[in-house]
Structure 1
Amino acid sequence: MPSTEICSASRTAIPPAVSFVAGFSTVRPPTFAPPSVSTPTVFSTSSACGSRARGRDRGSGASSGSTSRRARIARPFTHAWGPRTPAENGGAQAIVQSFSATRPNTPLTGIVTQYVSGGNQPIPADGAVLVARGAQAGFLSAEAPIGAKVTVLLTLTPPWANVLEAVGGGPIIVRDGKPVYRSFEDFTTQQLAPRSARTGVGQTADGRILLVAVDGKQPGYSTGLTNFELALTMMRLGCVTASALDSGGSTTMAFDGKLLNRPSDAGGERPVAEALTLFYYGVYAPAATARVLSPNADGVDDTQTLVYKLVRPSTVSATLNGPGGVVVPVDSGLRAAGTYRFPWTGAGQPEGTWTFHVVADDDLGRHSVADRQFALNNTLGFLSARAAGRRVTATFKLARPARVVVRIETPGGSLVRTLATRSLPAGDGSISWSGRPGAYVFSATATNEVGAVELTSPFRLRR
């Protein structure tokens, strides 16, 4: 006996193509200016030499000597690094005490009180440790003997006087609207060349910030991008400047407590030390639960749930604005911080595009607006797919004339076959198809003056 399977339908609007990007804009465009590729610093001493030179180093560094000599590098480590210097063999480590708190672009002065060798040295609470490696170790001890006064200048480019918080990352991948293939930053080929999950942040010419997460390392779903492919993606999204952030299993994007991507680690989300976090202060309205509301009692999207969220006490006005200037009050008055939900069937209301419009003024005087659109459309309903063996028959109802496209698709959305494209009158419709055993989705799309609406129903053909 062939098996028989009856499947229920689901209704969706016809969505536009979208990219997996979170974007936001500000009242005044912020400055997104990643630091220069390498950060120069200055280290000077009170020795007879009395000279000052610049050395190039990724992160905090220091150098000394005349400008005609080869750059000599020493790195200062303070308690901002941790309780001890990195574990390593050899080199020279100068203990500097009464060292002032580190500030960018400000001379930091102290006295060399002791020299030690080897790594993993304790960093004094009121001082720093200057670390020189290899040939530079002898230079450091000669130029900054015990008792010498040393000055370290930590230079940040561009100036960060207006920066309240910062997050580290790299490399630079878009500069002046062009993708950067090689930034000459201290990243390995293994970090940049393979396809992997990637994270990026960029800014468009009008000041908007784009946060981009690309899933990877998951064959059959997403292999990911190389670092340069991420650069090309950011450029195509309109970024004039952009930087990569940590990649691989650290790539995660979430909003309002909901994970938006699929992290590549087998265990899911990875604990990370830092994140780029955005906080909103105004009213927020999530996307409508039903992109197409159809109160025709077929059990699919017969009710819309309207939701808005406040983070502070606010005076709220919420309305539904429909075709022909129709306005339906939803909520108003002073509301505490929290989430508010309102069911709405749309019964007796005109069909077409509706907007859920929420205006809020919080207790700090900040004004915000949230809008969400959805469609009210009863054209297509009561879709069911009945499969028997290797044959399926689908039936549906049209409340008004429409041009109908009927397709067979895979569960992943790939087209198997278009069965019909024709204009049909109001009433009942049916269509049959025979295919190979497997899982499929029956899709019917109806388009008329009200709009476009799609119903889908999964089914399985058997031998």
Structure 2
Amino acid sequence: MPIRRALIPAALAGACLAPAMAAGAVTPVPTSGAAAGKPTSIVPGISYKVMRRSGPQVLHVVTFRANALTRLAPAQASGSLTRRATLSDGMASRLAQGATAGINGDYFDLATGTPSGILSVGTRLLASPEPARSALTIGAGGTLAVGRMALPGRYQRIDETAATPFPIRTFRAVNRPLPSTSATGVVAYTPERGAPTPPGSVYEVVVALDGGGGLAINGRVAGTVIAQVPGGGATMADGQVVLSGKAGSGTAIQNELPNGSRVEIETAIPGIAADARGAVGGGPMIVQGGVAVPDAGEGFTSNQLSGRTARTAVGQTADGAVLMVVSEGPQQGVRGYTAAEQGQMMASLGAVEAIGFDSGGSSLMAVGANQLIPSSSERAIADMLVAYYMGAQLSIPADNRVTPNGDGVADSITLGAQSPVAGTTTVTIARRGGGYSATPINQTGDPAYTPVTIDPKALGMKEGPYTVTVNLTPADGSAPTSQKRILVVDGTLGSLRVSSRGAKKKRKVTASFTLSRGARVTARVTSSTGRAVATLTNAKRMAKGRRSLTWNGQEGKKLAPAGHYTVTVLATGPYGQSGLRDTVRVR
């Protein structure tokens, strides 16, 4: 799996690292968080866990409840509806705004990058709904609703001096071109499209909205026509909208909306709550009233519904908890779910209402900017759903153990301090029990994401447990927030080297390593699929110094097949257990 960022959370690394790694790449063995089979707190109130079920099936689950600091919101993956971006890049661009965990959203048009259904960020309408498919709406208090919706858009020239009112005209879509089969019709385009309007046999006008802003779900705006653009290709600045008409609809625009005329535009979407603070398309609805929906249809193909694949869903429990769930599929080496089975799975997690989103290679989850679902290449997507936390954040470390023994593996660690609101941010490091304290970060300013490198040798940190704390005092006078992570500085185990000599019955695999103090050592060999092959030693007491263990290439009484094998060495000393692993090719 490609690593896109330096900060790979330990809680997540165990879910996304394959058992076998590139030969010669020595890596630490995570001993905390979900990587060790335990749920992990990402930030206060938002947790992540990996669930393994029969099938086999693997689920990645983020759980939280909306409150004053925590919310779920849709977002564009990139800054443009006509340009896709990866989930990890989309998350990276929002870290300073409090982005904590994210999943992929709606299906999209591969040719244009436009999402298939509605996209509303806050109350701003960026793309119109697909009437045949369900969409997710997020209320101001965090209540989720799933349902189908349509856009009966309207516009009308306003001229109080006219003898009779101008007719009310309709438009069919926002930022989604008319199908080639449509003989006539009107589309509204906004700057979020990120590109000029499509050229064609259309007539367009540019409208400057009063007070700027844009189109809103269940909103009405007014503005002044400032430009005529026959043939399409209109450009828009912030606070502007283009009305684009085809055939007779274009003629009506040309005749009724000259430069300087006033126009009112309404984007009412029946079925969306008045307090809606975001909406994103998807489908199908997979849980309703706590019961899995066996066949929602919604215009999806049988392959989209019945194929066993990786899938993404969002649901809400009876007590208001939000579930963001991505299940792995055949690409990750597990069975995968059908849409109906996905509904059963979400209901089993307690969802009383749930909706599916784009699936297969698009099914993605990230914590911070780190994509968690194993993939040979991360697919670019149109939009995403993001869990935001507006308090101080300190990223989950790659492991909570730093081993400053000069072997180039985990000699230091870099955490990310997120300050999603303006204020004063401090990061402190204190040895548990006293005797050491340092403040590597103390800054006042705008929202920011600040890398914090902890190098024990450079900072004069002796071996032992430490607490790293980020504190944020907001400039607006609101309550301070903080988050803590526990780190252990432990140089007991280092400099693992695994080599293989000979072939078949003359094989000899040697694992050598250095102990800075006496420790109990366990060493195991596993296959490229993670299957246990051999135990070289188990909790054996070994003295300080350079030590080595050998494997004869046997699996039980038989010769193990040629291929790649991983040797894992674990050492338990006064500061707990540390581990290293390396992969070697055996002939």
User: Per the shorter chain, which TM-score range?
Assistant: 0.5 to 0.7
Aligned to 2:569: 444
Q: Is the 8 A contact 1:213 1:251 kept in 2?
A: yes
**Rounded Cα–Cα distance in structure 2 between residues aligned with 1:171 and 1:444:** 47
**Rounded Cα–Cα distance in structure 2 between residues aligned with 1:180 and 1:164:** 26
Matches within 5 A, 1:137-152: none
**Rounded Cα–Cα distance in structure 1 between residues aligned with 2:517 and 2:176:** 75
Matches within 5 A, 1:357-376: 357-366=469-478, 367-376=480-489
2:579 matched to 1:454?
Answer: yes
Matches within 5 A, 1:61-210: 78-80=171-173, 123=249, 155-156=270-271, 160-183=273-296, 185-210=298-323
> Tell me, what secondary structure is at the counterpart of 2:394?
coil
- The residue type equivalent to 1:315 in the other structure is T
Q: Is the 8 A contact 2:517 2:543 kept in 1?
A: yes
**Rounded Cα–Cα distance in structure 2 between residues aligned with 1:226 and 1:199:** 11
How far residue 12 of structure 1 moved from its aligned partner, in angstroms, is 2.5
> Tell me, what secondary structure is at the counterpart of 1:276?
strand
Aligned to 1:26: 66
Query: Alpha-carbon deviations, 1:292-316, whole Å to 9, x = none?
Result: 2122333322223343233454212
Check 1:450–1:261 CA distance in 2 against 1; reply closer, same or farther (3 A cut).
same
How far residue 443 of structure 1 moved from its aligned partner, in angstroms, is 0.8
2:386 matched to 1:261?
Answer: no
**Rounded Cα–Cα distance in structure 2 between residues aligned with 1:154 and 1:306:** 43
Check 1:406–1:271 CA distance in 2 against 1; reply closer, same or farther (3 A cut).
closer
> Tell me, what secondary structure is at the counterpart of 2:341?
helix
Query: Alpha-carbon deviations, 1:193-239, whole Å to 9, x = none?
Result: 11123211122455332323345463x64563211332344345443
How far residue 26 of structure 1 moved from its aligned partner, in angstroms, is 2.9
Aligned to 2:535: 418
**Rounded Cα–Cα distance in structure 1 between residues aligned with 2:407 and 2:541:** 20
How far residue 454 of structure 1 moved from its aligned partner, in angstroms, is 1.2
TM-score, length of structure 1 as denominator length = 0.66
Matches within 5 A, 1:313-328: 313-325=422-434, 328=437
TM-score, length of structure 2 as denominator length = 0.54
Query: Alpha-carbon deviations, 1:317-371, whole Å to 9, x = none?
Result: 2112433255522235433335243332167656444332101123334533233
Q: Is the 8 A contact 2:310 2:337 kept in 1?
A: yes
Q: Is the 8 A contact 2:493 2:578 kept in 1?
A: yes
Q: Is the 8 A contact 2:392 2:472 kept in 1?
A: yes
Q: Is the 8 A contact 2:394 2:416 kept in 1?
A: yes
2:388 matched to 1:275?
Answer: no
Aligned to 2:510: 393
For the pair shown, which has the larger CA radius of gyration, 1 or 2?
1
How far residue 242 of structure 1 moved from its aligned partner, in angstroms, is 1.8
**Which of 393, 396, 409 is the matching residue for 1:287?**
396
Q: Is the 8 A contact 1:79 1:125 kept in 2?
A: no
| Structure 2 portions without partners, runs of 5+ | 1-22, 38-48, 51-59, 72-140, 153-168, 186-214, 221-245, 254-267, 554-559
Q: Is the 8 A contact 2:414 2:453 kept in 1?
A: yes
How far residue 417 of structure 1 moved from its aligned partner, in angstroms, is 1.7
How far residue 432 of structure 1 moved from its aligned partner, in angstroms, is 1.1
How far residue 244 of structure 1 moved from its aligned partner, in angstroms, is 0.7
How far residue 289 of structure 1 moved from its aligned partner, in angstroms, is 4.4
**Which of 409, 415, 418 is the matching residue for 1:300?**
409
Check 1:354–1:386 CA distance in 2 against 1; reply closer, same or farther (3 A cut).
same
Q: Is the 8 A contact 2:426 2:443 kept in 1?
A: no
**Rounded Cα–Cα distance in structure 1 between residues aligned with 2:572 and 2:318:** 38
Between 1 and 2, higher relative CO (CA 8 Å, sep ≥ 6) is seen in 2
Query: Alpha-carbon deviations, 1:230-281, whole Å to 9, x = none?
Result: 23443454434321112234434445554443568xx852452x43345554
- The residue type equivalent to 1:322 in the other structure is R
> Tell me, what secondary structure is at the counterpart of 1:356?
strand
**Rounded Cα–Cα distance in structure 2 between residues aligned with 1:256 and 1:309:** 10
Is 193-202 or 280-289 further displaced after alignment? 280-289
How far residue 407 of structure 1 moved from its aligned partner, in angstroms, is 0.3
- The residue type equivalent to 1:386 in the other structure is S
**Rounded Cα–Cα distance in structure 1 between residues aligned with 2:336 and 2:62:** 18
How far residue 403 of structure 1 moved from its aligned partner, in angstroms, is 3.4
Aligned to 2:548: 430
Q: Is the 8 A contact 1:79 1:124 kept in 2?
A: no
Q: Is the 8 A contact 1:7 1:459 kept in 2?
A: yes
**Rounded Cα–Cα distance in structure 1 between residues aligned with 2:431 and 2:497:** 30
How far residue 167 of structure 1 moved from its aligned partner, in angstroms, is 1.0
> Tell me, what secondary structure is at the counterpart of 1:190?
helix
2:133 matched to 1:16?
Answer: no
Check 1:89–1:303 CA distance in 2 against 1; reply closer, same or farther (3 A cut).
closer
**Rounded Cα–Cα distance in structure 1 between residues aligned with 2:314 and 2:568:** 37
Aligned to 2:357: 245
- The residue type equivalent to 1:269 in the other structure is R
Q: Is the 8 A contact 1:196 1:215 kept in 2?
A: yes
Aligned to 2:526: 409
Check 1:456–1:268 CA distance in 2 against 1; reply closer, same or farther (3 A cut).
closer
**Rounded Cα–Cα distance in structure 1 between residues aligned with 2:571 and 2:142:** 47
Q: Is the 8 A contact 2:521 2:542 kept in 1?
A: no
Check 1:349–1:222 CA distance in 2 against 1; reply closer, same or farther (3 A cut).
same
- The residue type equivalent to 2:418 in the other structure is K
Aligned to 2:197: none
Query: Alpha-carbon deviations, 1:430-457, whole Å to 9, x = none?
Result: 3211114322111111235522211112
**Rounded Cα–Cα distance in structure 2 between residues aligned with 1:205 and 1:447:** 44
Query: Alpha-carbon deviations, 1:372-396, whole Å to 9, x = none?
Result: 3332223323322232112112223
RMSD: 4.2
The count of aligned residue pairs is 375
**Rounded Cα–Cα distance in structure 1 between residues aligned with 2:527 and 2:463:** 31
> Tell me, what secondary structure is at the counterpart of 2:280?
coil
Q: Is the 8 A contact 2:427 2:442 kept in 1?
A: no
2:338 matched to 1:226?
Answer: yes
Q: Is the 8 A contact 2:30 2:36 kept in 1?
A: no
How far residue 427 of structure 1 moved from its aligned partner, in angstroms, is 2.4
**Which of 345, 351, 373 is the matching residue for 2:456?**
345
Check 1:255–1:433 CA distance in 2 against 1; reply closer, same or farther (3 A cut).
closer
**Rounded Cα–Cα distance in structure 2 between residues aligned with 1:279 and 1:417:** 45
- The residue type equivalent to 2:293 in the other structure is V
- The residue type equivalent to 1:319 in the other structure is T
Is 179-188 or 293-302 further displaced after alignment? 179-188
Check 1:80–1:327 CA distance in 2 against 1; reply closer, same or farther (3 A cut).
farther
Q: Is the 8 A contact 1:397 1:426 kept in 2?
A: no
Query: Alpha-carbon deviations, 1:121-149, whole Å to 9, x = none?
Result: 7557999xxxxxxxxxxxxxxxxxxxxxx
